[in-house]
Structure 1
Amino acid sequence: MMSENNILLKVDNLVKLFPIKKGSLFSRNAGYVHAVDGVSFNIYQGETLGLVGESGCGKSTTGRTILQLYPPTSGSVWFNGEDLAVLQGKKLRQKRRQLQMIFQDPYASLNPRMTVAQIIGEPMEIHKTFQGEAKLKRVRELLELVGLNPTFINRYPHEFSGGQRQRIGIARALALEPKLIVCDEPISALDVSIQAQVVNLLEDLQQKMGLTYLFIAHDLSMVRHISNRIAVMYLGKIVELADRNELYADPRHPYAQALLSAIPFPDPFIEETRKRIILEGDVPSPVNPPSGCRFRTRCRYAKEICSVEDPELKEIKPGHSVACHF
């Protein structure tokens, strides 16, 4: 599965900076927010890559920049052999059919003035894939696929619960039969009882339709359940990338170790003996990140070299890469 020929998406040194404007009349740049700063990874056909990290580390910006919802500052995003970062207009629109997104907030991502038929049918209208009665038939099929009653097509979003709304969002993402779906924290706004249902639905759809996911989340136990490999992100950079079982059994980066130590264990005896790693201090500002290693200000192993040299993401054994001097 994980061969060079099987790479669906290749992100290479992706950078996204947001300018900070000062002054109301003649606004000038007063600096940049380093949201994504030199991120590289591959996603293979049919796999799920989990992207984890605490709030504000640049996970969602990475997902949106891959889809060109934000134009990248530099770097490339190769999808099926074409660099999305240089495509524009009609060519980019055609490629976008194969890349879709499921948004975090099911309450904000659906237009309250549109019916379910209009919401799910809109991508088909824009790309002229189905029209008229064929489009309504396709909408009903998609509703059934995500576990909703096909007779709901004339209802409005306010008539549904959060979990049902997210299913409508998933149906909309599937409308153009994409190859890659960016799931931007698709369960974080839902009740815990509904989260597992939505994740199971995503897994079923992946098997049925051969989908590939970039699954962005901060719930580490859920990411382990759905992902094949996991990338850990800190302040705009990927600090560790490994197979899910390998990462959970043997995390090498101090940040990944701290994150994984926070996951509760169901056995009370084991939980009592486990040692929590509490990180000191707050996450530094992405406007003025620390020199050298981004994590050094909170790292218990930090030495002189960490403040001078930014560690490269290096493979320490097959399929397991870490960005740490030690």
Structure 2
Amino acid sequence: MTTANTEPTAVPGVTEPKLGEELLSVTGLVKHFPIRKGLLQRQTGAVQAVDGLTFNVTRGETLSLVGESGCGKTTTGRLLTRLLEPTEGQIILEGRDISHLSEGKMRPLRRDVQMIFQDPYGSLNPRHTVGKIVGAPYKLQNVKTEQGTKKSVQELLELVGLSPEHYNRYPHEFSGGQRQRIGIARTLALRPKLIVADEPVSALDVSIQAQVVNLLEDLQNEFDLTYVMIAHDLSVVRHVSDRVAVMYLGKIVELADRVDLYENPMHPYTVALLSAVPIPDTTRKAKQDRIRLQGDVPSPINPPPACRFHTRCWKAQEICKTTEPPLLQLAPRHQTACHFPENQPSDKPVAPAPSPDTDPS
């Protein structure tokens, strides 16, 4: 992926996705939050935040997770960094299963997996100086640097576009964009292999978003970083991603190469999301059909059976209410979970046919 100097809303040129060895592998990942009531705190239900995710991330690529609020993006990110314990499933990092490692065994692995948080204001301790914040990973991991912690921290600050003189300042003395740069510097301290970025620019002004996005791309190229990017702004996602996974109610409904997904979306939910992306060209916007989904997103406490999108889908038929569509590869590097996908290649079969006792009409 090449570094772009344009605003994040600009459409980059078509580039070949990076291919490398597998760094992260996720299989059947599930996270249910129990709902307890009464004096004895008996479980009466569960919030099905993440329900059976399977994907992998190759070294040096950027995989973006997109979807509406409440679809499970942030929960997935916290599961990957083991800030949350999975209910079921496997998370394999460089061949090692980290799904249920204890806190003590996870501690040395935290050097390899770090997280950039969404809120640049809430993620920094207001009582600590920038030097103490960025230098905290060295202390927690008992890492000794050749030039000393202070010098290393000042080099990190320069790396993210801040001045070494900021070492003794406090977070309240910085703008939102500068605070996010401080958070990025802290993330880079231990030279991680995988960075989970939870909407790193959504809380920033539009003019600052492009700077931070370009900074992340520059750092990726310089240090061969691998990103799992969580975002809801599809314009930013198109600018930074190699592959995109579209989530709906805790499940991946489409996973594809970025160029293919934006040019040939197959799942109706993806088609609806992309129809809402603003286009600066007024002539093209006039020709674009805006798809307005009916109804609200169902509750993750009691999601619809079978295809979870069928309650809002204009293509839904009886089979969508009775049979869950598997995530099938309908094109090279393009997987979709839909019985009636859009833009489907003519030589590829649709999802498995309904059973004889099911009426698809």
Cα distance in 2 for partners of 1:86, 1:278 equals: 41
Contact 1:125 1:131 (8 Å CA) reproduced: no
Classify the secondary structure of the residue corresponding to 2:26. strand
Contact 1:233 1:240 (8 Å CA) reproduced: yes
Cα distance in 2 for partners of 1:44, 1:65 equals: 18
Cα distance in 1 for partners of 2:49, 2:101 equals: 22
Classify the secondary structure of the residue corresponding to 1:124. helix
Task: Give 2:149's aligned residue.
Answer: 135
Classify the secondary structure of the residue corresponding to 1:85. coil
Of residues 274, 277, 286, the one that matches 1:260 is 274
1:310 CA displacement: 1.0
1:10 CA displacement: 0.5
Matched, 1:87 2:101: yes
Higher helix share: 1
Cα distance in 2 for partners of 1:89, 1:53 equals: 30
Matched, 1:17 2:17: no
Deviations 1:248-293 (A, max 9, x none): 1000000000000001111111111110010000000000000000
Structure-to-structure mapping, 1:98-109, within 5 angstroms: 98-109=112-123
Classify the secondary structure of the residue corresponding to 1:307. helix
Cα distance in 1 for partners of 2:324, 2:128 equals: 49
Cα distance in 1 for partners of 2:70, 2:161 equals: 33
Give the ranges of 4+ consecutive aligned residues of structure 1 lying more than 4 Å apart after TM superposition.
Answer: none
Matched, 1:321 2:335: yes
1:90 CA displacement: 3.1
- Unaligned 5+ runs, structure 2: 1-16, 341-361
User: What amino acid does structure 1 have at the position aligned with 2:335?
Assistant: S
1:133 CA displacement: 6.4
- What TM-score, normalized to structure 1? 0.97
Task: Give 1:291's aligned residue.
Answer: 305
Matched, 1:43 2:57: yes
Cα distance in 1 for partners of 2:285, 2:64 equals: 25
Q: What is the aligned residue count?
A: 324
1:100 CA displacement: 0.2
Contact 1:312 1:323 (8 Å CA) reproduced: yes
- Unaligned 5+ runs, structure 1: none
Classify the secondary structure of the residue corresponding to 2:148. helix
- What TM-score, normalized to structure 2? 0.88
Cα distance in 1 for partners of 2:28, 2:51 equals: 8
1:91 CA displacement: 2.5
Classify the secondary structure of the residue corresponding to 1:203. helix
1:87 CA displacement: 2.0
Cα distance in 1 for partners of 2:160, 2:238 equals: 23
Deviations 1:148-176 (A, max 9, x none): 00110111100000000000000000011
Contact 1:8 1:44 (8 Å CA) reproduced: yes
User: What amino acid does structure 1 have at the position aligned with 2:334?
Assistant: H
Task: Give 1:113's aligned residue.
Answer: 127
Of residues 240, 243, 252, the one that matches 1:226 is 240
1:130 CA displacement: 2.6
Cα distance in 2 for partners of 1:138, 1:28 equals: 51
Cα distance in 2 for partners of 1:204, 1:92 equals: 29
Classify the secondary structure of the residue corresponding to 2:320. helix
User: What amino acid does structure 1 have at the position aligned with 2:158?
Assistant: E
Contact 2:18 2:61 (8 Å CA) reproduced: no
* C-alpha RMSD of matched pairs (Å): 1.3
Cα distance in 1 for partners of 2:293, 2:109 equals: 42
User: What amino acid does structure 2 have at the position aligned with 1:278?
Assistant: R
Contact 1:52 1:233 (8 Å CA) reproduced: yes
Cα distance in 2 for partners of 1:150, 1:305 equals: 61
Cα distance in 2 for partners of 1:51, 1:85 equals: 20
Cα distance in 2 for partners of 1:181, 1:115 equals: 24
Classify the secondary structure of the residue corresponding to 2:99. helix
Matched, 1:213 2:241: no
Classify the secondary structure of the residue corresponding to 1:148. coil
Contact 1:59 1:233 (8 Å CA) reproduced: yes
Cα distance in 1 for partners of 2:261, 2:103 equals: 40
Task: Give 2:350's aligned residue.
Answer: none
* Percent of residue pairs identical: 61
Structure-to-structure mapping, 1:168-207, within 5 angstroms: 168-207=182-221
1:73 CA displacement: 0.2
Structure-to-structure mapping, 1:149-160, within 5 angstroms: 149-160=163-174
Contact 1:117 1:154 (8 Å CA) reproduced: yes
